[in-house]
Structure 1
Amino acid sequence: MSHVSIDGAKCQGHGRCALIAPEVFDVDDLGMGLVLVDEVPPAAEADVDEAVLTCPENAIHVR
């Protein structure tokens, strides 16, 4: 299974990740990206890949 994280120093709060993969990402009270689950569910892998590609700051990391 893949693990996902957001680099808080790079995130600028665009929220694209939460729109693309709401089962994995949300935004916190300041509008910054927040990971809801550390391990990406198999059904959400394509959405997480899309979120990685569309993040303007390249703040999302999958390992």
Structure 2
Amino acid sequence: MHIAIDEAKCMGHGRCYGVAPTLLHDDEEGFVAERGQCWKVPDELLGEAQDAADACPEGAIELLEQAPA
């Protein structure tokens, strides 16, 4: 499973890194530091990835079977 964070949709609410502190982190402006990125989620962090996606009010976080081409 991959996680993708849409940089344009992220509004910096901080809910994602609040519920997934092992997977996501904040930057100096309060946005998720990993915005604009897509990467493979380790199996042991899939629960955190789902929690982060569910917590985002903007829908900026997607879980994908495969990384986009």
TM-score (norm 2): 0.76
1:33 alignment counterpart: 32
Q: Which runs of 5+ in 2 are unaligned?
A: 65-69
2:67 alignment counterpart: none
Match for 1:45: what amino acid? Answer: L
Q: Distance in 2 between matches of 1:57 and 1:25?
A: 16
Larger radius of gyration: 2
TM-score (norm 1): 0.82
Q: Which runs of 5+ in 1 are unaligned?
A: none
1:15 alignment counterpart: 14
State the number of aligned residues: 62
Deviation above 3 Å: which 4+ runs of structure 1? none
Q: Distance in 2 between matches of 1:28 and 1:5?
A: 17
